[in-house]
Structure 1
Amino acid sequence: MRLRASLVLLCLSVPALASAQSDDKFRQIEDLLPTPTSVRAASGAPGHAYWQQRADYVIRAKLDESKRAITGAETITYHNNSPDSLNYLWVQLDQNIFRSDSDANTTRTLPSRDAWKNPNAVSFQAMAVMNERDNFDGGFKITSVKGADGQALKHVINRTMMRIDLPQSLKPGAKFVFSIDWNYNIGNGKLLGGRDGFEHFKEDKNDIFEIAQWFPRMAAYYDVYGWQHKQFLGSGEFTLEFGDYDVQLTVPSDHVVSATGELSNADKILTATQLDRLKQARTAKTPVVIVTQKEAEEAEKKRATDSKTWHFKAKNVRDFAWASSRKYIWDAQGYKTGTSSGLAMSFYPKEANPLWGQYSTQAIIHTIEQYNKFSLDYPYPIAQSVNGPQGGMEYPMLSFNGGRPTKDKKTGESTYSKRTKYGLISVIIHEVGHNYFPMIVNSDERQWTWMDEGLNSFVQSLAEQAWEENYPGTRGEPRGIVDYMKSQNQVPIMTNSESILQFGPNAYAKPAAGLHILRETILGRELFDFAFKEYAQRWKFKRPTPADFFRTMEDASGTDLDWFWRGWFYTTDPVDISIDGIVEYTMSTKDPEVEKAWRRAQFASQPTSTANQADKGKLERRLDSHPELKDFYNQYDDFTVTNKDRNTYNEMMKGLDEDEKAMLKSGKHFYLVDFSNVGGLVMPLILEIQLQSGKKMIQRIPAEIWRYNSKKFTKLIVTDEPMVSLTQDPFLETADIDTNNNSWPRKITQSRLELFKMNFPPNDMMADFKTPLKTDAKPEAKEEVKDAAKPAADAAKEVKTAEAKPVEKAAKPTTKPAAKAAKEVK
C-alpha cells in the first residue's frame, strides 16, 4: 500500500507506548537466582571466601579376566575446607545402579505401545537386555569400611549412596583418613548400557574392558546444596571433588592399559622398543604406533597366565577411569599449543582400523588446540581416546569413544561411510572436550546437565567447523533446533538432570544453539568470546552454578542478558516473529506540479468499475450530443495545476530555510512495518531489505525493541528508493519456528512432489474391509538415501550409548555461519 504523508505525521513517535504488562520479558532474573554471597560474587566470579572440599585417593585394584570382576581397596584422605563441622560423610556407590532392585531398574518405563510397529512383538536384542538387567549380579559388595586406626566405621548404604558416621565431628580445616574394601562384577556394556562394561569378541574370544564409576567416590559438599547426594538414576551424571590419585592396576601381563594420569612405571611395563617409540612420539608430526596391529593380533592368540601391575598417578583431577585389553593397538603423538604440552594417545582393536589409526589421535590434538582458544589451556600431560563398548563417555585425560568400520560381506575388507567417519571425529571432539567442561570447569552434573553438555556441545561445534569447511555437524546452528522448539513435549533447560524429556535436544542442542545466538546475533564474537573465556578462567578447578555462568557472561560482556536467560533457559517459548503488514509513505513535496501529477497517476492506476466497463462505447451521453454544455471544469480536471496552486506553493517556500527545502526534495521512502511476537520469546530483528535497484541491506535491531510491548510493535524503515521485499531472519540465525511469516511479500514454500505407481485391484465389493494394498515404492531404498545424507552427530547417536541419552533428529548439514553470510550481503 502506498500513501502520501505530511511532515507532521512523520514527526510523530512511531512505536506506540504500551500499557504496563504483567508479562515483562525484560524484567531482571534476580528473583530466579540465589542471592550473591562472599562465596559467589554478584559479578559471577568466585567470592573472596570461596571454598571447596578435596579428596585424595590411593587405590589398589585387580582385574579378574575370567570372572569379569574387580577387587579393590582404597584409602581416602578427605579435606574439610568448608566453614562447617561435619558429623558424617557421604560416598557415591554408582555401580549400585546395576543391582536388579535399583531405582533405575525398577522405575524404568517403555514408550507407549501405540508407537510400536507390533505391540505383541519383542526383538531378540530387547529381550536379551531385559534378561541381563534382571539376572546380572551387579553393584558394589562393600567388605570393609575402616578408619586410619583400623577400627570399623559405622556406615549405612542408601541405594547409590553410603553414609559414613564419623567417630567425632570433622572441624573446618581438618582432614579424615579412612579406607574401603570392595568388589563388583563387570557388566556387559552392550546389553546393560551405562558408562562402563566389557565387550566380548567371538572371533578371537577376547574382551575389552572399559572401567568407570568403579570405586566408591566422595560425594560433593558445597555452599549451594550442602551434600549433593541425589540418587543416581542414570541421567544425572557426577558431582565430584578434585584430588590426587595414586592407582595401581593389576591385569593380565599381555594386556595394554589406558588410564587417567601418567604411567609412573613404564620402564617395568613396556618393552625397550615400546619405550623408544613412546619417546619418538613426543616430537613426532604424525601419530607413532607404540603397540602395532601385528603385535596386538599376536597377543590375541595367546592367553597370559601371569599378571602385571600398571602404576598411574594423576594430580588435581576429579575422577579416575581406565581400560584394559590384549586387543589394543596403541598410538601416540605429542602436542604443544599455548601453555599446553603432552601426549595424545589412542587405544583401539584391529576391528577399528583403518578409521581409528587415521583420525583418533589427530582429533584429540585438534580438540585441544580449538578448546584452548575459546576456554582455557589444557593443563594435563595426557589426553586419550579409547575404543570399546561404550560409545561416548568422558573422564579426566581419558574418553571412551565408539564407532568402527564395517566389513564388506563380499570382500571381507573394512570400509566406513561418511556418516561413520564424521561421527567418530565428532564424538572424539565432544568427549575429549569434556575435559574442559566439566572435568576442569567442575559444574554439578547431577543437578544441571546443560552446564557441561550444552557448553561442551557449543565449543564442539566451533571445533568441528575448524576441522573443515561445511563440516556436517548437527548441533550448534540455531536452525537445527527448530523441530524441537516446535514440540509440545518440552521442559525448560533449567530442569533437573533426572527429569529432562528429550535429553539430546534439551541438554545438548538447545543450550548450544542459544550460545550461538548470543555469539553471532546478540553480543557479537568479540564480546562473547571474551566473556565465555572469562567464565572458563574464573571457574577452572572450581564448581560454578548456572547463576555464576549467567552473571559472568553479563559482567564480562557489559550487556544485560536477563531477557535471554529467562526466555531461552527458563521457558519453553519458541521464537516466531511475524511481519504482519507494511504501509509505504513517500514525502509530499508540496510542489503542485509534482503532487498533482502523482495523484493523477494514482487515480489512473485504479481499476475501472464494472459498470463503466459495460457502458463504455455503448451508453449515449448528453454532453457528447450537446457540446455547448461544456465549461471550464470539463476542460480542466482535478489534477490540473492552477495559478492559485502555484502562488500558494511559492508563498510556502518563502517561509522555509534551505534544510527544510532539501528535506521536501529528498525523495525518501518511509515504511511503517508491523511486527508481532507469535512464539512468545523475544529476539533481535535481522532485516534484509531489498530495493528496486536490486541492492540489499541488512539492519540489525537489538531485542530491546520489544521492551515497550513484547507482543507487537511498529518499526519505521527509511530508504532512498522503493523497497520491493523485506525478510526477517534471512540467515536462519534465531531458530524461528515459522519462516512462512518472515517475509513481505509472502514467499511460496517450495518442495518436491514424489510420484509413484500403485497397484489397483479389480473391482472388489469387499475392498474396504480388507488390508490396504502395498505400493510399488521401496521404502528401503528411500531410507538408504536418507541415511546417506544424515550428518555426523546422527552417527554419534549410534555410538553414544554409554551416556544412555537420546539424540535429537539430525538437522540438515550446516551452511555458512550467519555473520559471514551477512557480511557477504552487505
Structure 2
Amino acid sequence: MRRFLFAGLVLALAGQRPALAQTTNSGTDKFAQLETLLPTPNTYRTASGAPGKDYWQQRADYDIKVSLDDAKQAITGRETITYTNLSPDVLPYLWVQLDQNILDKNSITKATEVGQLQDKMSFNALEGMLSDFDGGFKIESVTGKDGKALKTVTNHTMMRVDLPSPLRPGQSFAFNVKWHYNINDQLKINERSGYEYFPEDKNYLYEIAQFYPRMAVYSDNQGWQHKQFLGNGEFTLPFGDYKVSITAPADHVVGATGTLQNASQVLTATQQKRFEQAKTAKKPVLIVSQEEAVKAEGKRATGTKTWSFAAKNVRDFAWASSRKFIWDAMQIKQEGKPVMCMSYYPKEGNPLWGKYSTEVVAHTIKTYSKFTIPYQYPVAISVHGPVGGMEYPMLCFNGGRPEKDGTYSAQRKYGMISVIIHEVGHNFFPMIINSDERQWTWMDEGLNTFVQYLTEQEWERNYPSSRGEPRNMVNYMLTDKTLQTPIMTNSESVLQFGNNAYGKPATALNILRETVMGRELFDHAFKTYAQRWAYKHPTPADFFRTMEDASAVDLDWFWRGWFYTTDRTDIALESVKSYEMSTKNPQVENARLQQQQAAAPASISAQRNAQDLKSTLVDEKPELKDFYNSFNPLAVTPADQQRYTAYMGTLSPEQQQRLGQEQHFYELSLRNVGGLVMPVIVQLTYADNSQEIQTIPAEIWRKNNAQVSKVIVTKKPVISFVLDPFQQTADTDLSNNAFPRQPAASRFELFQQQQQAQPNPMQQAAQSASPMQKQEQKPTGGTK
C-alpha cells in the first residue's frame, strides 16, 4: 500500500472517533450572516428578495426629434418628456441627466483625471491632453407644455427642473427641452458613442447615444439617483415608451432602438421586399448589400430623410447612421414571438461581420432567454463602428475588424464574437433586469459576463472564453491587495475595473453554479431572480436574497467573502496521516509488524557495520547467548490467541464483521491560507491507479475559518491526494494542493528584445500556398 508516502501510524479503533475540529475563530467569522450589511426588508422589497406588495417605480415617456449634421458632425434636437410619479412621495422638482457634459471643457471628469508623463507618448494621448473639443449639451430652452420657461439649475451632468407646483402621487408632468451638441471623434476622444471618419472615401459612420437629456431614477431605496457621471458608473434610467424621429442625409441608412414606423418612406421597394424575406429566412438576408453600400460611398445625395422609430417599455434609446452601412437581417422566434436580428456594418468589417454578426445576435437572444427570461423586444441589432463595445435597448455598438486584406487572427474572430454576445446580452442585464449601474457596475457587467460565458460555450465547444473560468481569475486575485477593491465598491471607485466588475463576479457565479450549488439549484435561482426583477430596479440585496430563497442554500459566507472582501482562494493540504484499524487478531497484526520491520531500511551505521565488522563478541563466544537471542516477540502464542478469542466474544456480529473489513483512514490537515472559505474538492488516487473525487462543502470551515482536519475513510489504499484538481475554485497556489508534493511544471523560451510583428495564420497560409490555393483562400470581402 506504499505506506512510506504517509506518516504510518496504527490506531486501535475500538469505538473511537476522530477528534472534533477546533471551535475558535481568529478575526471575523466568515460564516456570520449578512443581516447587518443588507437593508431591512419592507413592503417594497421583501426578505425573500422579491418585490413587495407596495413596490413602485417611476415612468418617463419621450417624444424626440433629432437631426444629424453630416457636414459639422453635430446633433440638434428637441423632446417632450412626460414624467409620471408613481411613488407615494410628493416631488417639488425633477432631476435630468446631461451625460454629454462629461465632454464639456470644464467637466469634473476632465478636472479629476489622473495620469503620468512618459518618455514616449502616443499622438492620441497627446491630443487627449491638448484637445480643445467643445463637447457637452448646449441647452437652448426648457419649457412647460404652455411654452413658459421652467427654472433649471445645472450641476455638471445633472440638471434640476423646478416644477410650477409639486408633483403628487399618480400625477404626470410634461415639459420640453431643446438642445444641440458636437459629436466627438471616437478615435481621438474615446467615449461610448461618436463618429469614425474614413479618409479613403471621405465618409463618416455615426454611433449615437446619450444624445438627449434623460430622466434620472427616483426609487424607494435611495430617492433620486443623481450621482455625477464621471465615466465608469453608467446609466441608471426609468422605463417608458419612445417615439423618435431621426433626420439624416438622404443616402444614409439608419438603425435604431425600436421598430421602424415609416419603412415605405425611407426604404426602396427592393429593400422592403428583402426585409420581408428576412422574416422567414434560415440565414441572414442582405437588405443593403456590400455592392450597394460601396456605390453609396462614392456619391452624395442632396436633401435629407426622416426615419421614425417607436419602442415600448424601454429604458433608453440609441441609433447609428452612415451611407457606408451594409445591412442584413434574420428573424427568429422566441417563445412564439418574432425577433428580427440585424447587423449594420461598413465593408471594412467584412468578411467577419457578414459571416458572423447576425448569427451571433440570434444565438445570444436564444441562449440568454433560456437562462433568464424570454426576450420580449421585437428587434436586436449589432452595429460595427468605432466604439469597442457599448449597449442600449435592442441595439449595441461592437468592434472587431479584420485586416485590410480581409484576413484575421483567431483572437480577432473570437474577440468580435465575444463582444457581440456581451453587448447583445446587455439587453437582459441591465436593459430589462434594470439594476443601478451608476452605483453597482457588477450587477450588470458581472452578471452579463457570466451569461456571456455560458453563451460562448454553447456557440462552440471549448470556446476560448477569456472570463468565466476560475483559473482565469487567479492572476488578478494574486495581485497586491492595495491594488484591489471588493466587488461591492461604487463604480467610480473600483480599481482594476475589468477584473473587478466583469471577471471576478462572473467567476464567482460560475463557481456557485458548478461547485457550491450545482447547476439545477443555481439555474432555478438565477432564473427566478430574472423573472422577479424583469422591467424593475433590483439591488444587490435583492439578488443575494433571491439566490438563497429559491435554492435553500445559505450563501451569506459566499457573498461576504467574494463580494465584500479581497480575500483569495488558497487552501493548502499541509499533511496527510495514514491510519489503519487494528483487527486485534495476533496472526494478522503481528505479521503486519514483521513486514514493516523487514521493509524498514537499516540505519547508515548498521549498514557500514555489516561491511566493516567481521564479527561481534557474541559471534565469537556463543556461550554469551541466552533466551532473548532466539526470542521472537512477534510470534503468536496460545495465550495471544486466547486473548483474541475472548475479545471477539465481547463484540456483536456487526462489530466482528467491521473488524474483518479492509479499511484505510487518512487524516488531512487543511489550512485556509488565502482567507476565502471555499468547498474542499479532493481527488484521491488509489494504489490501483483508479481515482475518485470527493467534494466537502464550505461549511467544513464554520467552526474554524483558518485550519481544520478531515478524516477520509476508503476501502482501498490511497497513494496521493490533490485539492481542486480541475481548478474550479480559483485557487491561487496549486503548489500546496497535493500530498505528496508535486513539482510545478513550466517552460521558458528565449526571445529577441524587439520582435517584428508576425502575420496572422490566415496570411501565413496564403504566403505558403500554391497559386491555385491562393485563389481558393482569397477572402471574398463579404456576402454579395
TM-score by length of 1: 0.89
After superposing the two structures, state which structure 1 stretch, 609-618 or 678-687, moved more.
609-618
SS at match of 1:689: strand
Residue 678 of structure 2 is aligned to residue 683 of structure 1: yes
For 2:497, the equivalent position in structure 1 comes to: 503
Q: Which residue matches 2:287?
A: 290
Amino acid at match of 1:310: W
Distance 1:754 1:210, change over 3 A: closer
Which residue among 518, 521, 535 is the counterpart of 2:512? Answer: 518
| SS across alignment from 2:115 | coil
Asked if 1:552 is matched to 2:535, the reply is no
Q: Does 1:15 align with 2:20?
A: yes
Which residue in the other structure is 1:456 paired with? Answer: 448
Unmatched segments (≥5 aa) in structure 1? 114-118, 408-412, 757-776, 790-826
Equivalent in 123, 145, 163 of residue 166 of structure 1 = 163
Match of 2:377 in 1: 380
Task: Flag as ranges the 4+ runs of structure 1 deviating above 6 A.
Answer: none
**TM-score normalised according to structure 2 size:** 0.94
Deviation digits for residues 382-405 of structure 1 (CA, Å, limit 9, x no counterpart): 110011111100000000011111
Match in the other structure for 2:532: 538
Q: Secondary structure of 2:550's match?
A: helix
Change (3 A) 1:626 1:587: same
User: 2:458 aligned with 1:432, yes or no?
Assistant: no
**8 A contact 2:26–2:706 mirrored in 1:** no
Corresponding residue of 1:110: 115
SS in structure 2 at match of 1:780: coil
Q: Show CA shifts across 1:460-502 (max 9, x none).
A: 0000000011101111111110000111110000000000111
Confirm or deny: 8 A CA contact 2:18 2:711 kept in the other structure.
no
Q: Decide whether the 8 Å contact of 2:9 with 2:578 is kept in 1.
A: yes
1:337 offset after TM fit, Å? 2.6
Q: Who is 1:6 aligned against?
A: 12
Task: Give the alignment partner of residue 278 of structure 2, picking from 276, 281, 289.
Answer: 281
- Residue 133 of structure 2 aligns with which residue? 136
1:340–1:377 CA contact under 8 A, matched in 2: no
Cα deviation, residue 715, structure 1: 0.4
- Per the TM alignment, residue 562 of structure 1 is displaced from its structure 2 partner at its CA by 0.2
Q: Is 1:366 matched up with 2:363?
A: yes
- Corresponding residue for 1:695? 690
* Preserved contact between residue 205 and residue 324 of structure 2 (Cα < 8 Å): yes
- Aligned residue in 2 for 1:84: 89
Structure 1 counterpart of 2:10, which letter?
R
**Residue among 303, 307, 327 paired with 1:306:** 303
Q: Match for residue 561 of structure 2? A: 567
Question: How far is the alpha carbon of 1:12 from its aligned partner?
Answer: 2.4
1:366-765 matched pairs, under 5 angstroms: 366-407=363-404, 413-488=405-480, 489-616=483-610, 618=613, 620-754=615-749
- Deviation for aligned residue 1:546: 0.1
Q: Which residue of 1 aligns with 2:120?
A: 121
Pick the aligned partner of 2:244 from 244, 247, 250: 247
Distance of 1:297 and 1:753 partners within structure 2: 49
Aligned residue for 2:41, secondary structure, equals coil
CA distance in 1, matches of 2:410, 2:749: 26
In structure 2, what is the Cα distance between the partners aligned to 1:65 and 1:531?
49
What are the ranges of 5 or more consecutive residues in structure 2 without an aligned counterpart? 1-6, 763-784
Deviation at 1:631, TM superposition (A): 3.1
> The residue matched to 2:646 in structure 1 has which SS?
helix
> What is the aligned-residue RMSD (CA, Å)?
1.5
Cα separation, 2, equivalents of 1:328 and 1:609: 84
Whether the aligned pair in 2 keeps the contact of 1:96 and 1:159 (CA below 8 Å) is yes
- Number of the residue aligned with 1:780: 755
Note the C-alpha offset of 1:24.
0.9
Distance 2:667 2:16 in 1: 13
Q: Deviations over 1:532-574 (max 9, x none)?
A: 0000000000000000000000000111100000000000000
Mapped to 2, the partners of 1:106 and 1:20 lie a distance apart of 47
Instruction: Look up the SS of the partner of 2:36 in the other structure.
Output: coil
One-letter identity of the residue aligned with 1:128:
E
Classify the secondary structure of the residue corresponding to 1:644: helix
Partners of 1:513 and 1:242 in 2: CA distance? 30
8 Å CA contact retained: 2:264, 2:272: yes
3-state SS of the aligned residue for 1:128?
A: helix
What's the CA shift string for 1:686-709, capped at 9, x where partnerless? 110011011101111110011111
Q: State the alpha-carbon separation in 1 of the partners of residues 107 and 746 from structure 2.
A: 50
Question: Aligned with 2:149: secondary structure?
Answer: coil
Aligned-partner Cα distance in 1 for 2:222–2:77: 31
2:220 to 223, 236, 245: 223
Query: Using a 3 Å threshold, how does the CA distance of structure 1 residues 620 and 414 change in structure 2: closer, same or farther?
Result: closer
In the TM superposition, residue 7 of structure 1 has moved relative to its aligned partner by 1.4
Write the deviation string for residues 279-324 of structure 1: whole angstroms up to 9, x where unpaired.
Answer: 0000000100001111111111111220011000000000000011
- 1:151-198, CA deviations, whole angstroms, 9 ceiling, x for partnerless residues? 110000100000011111110111101000000011111111111111
What CA distance in whole angstroms lies between the structure 2 residues aligned with 1:329 and 1:671? 66
Deviation at 1:778, TM superposition (A): 5.2
The CA distance in 1 between the partners of 2:25 and 2:73, in whole Å, is: 67
> Could you say which residue in structure 2 is the equivalent of 1:36?
41
Pair 1:754–1:76, CA change in 2 (3 A): closer
- Identity rate, percent: 58
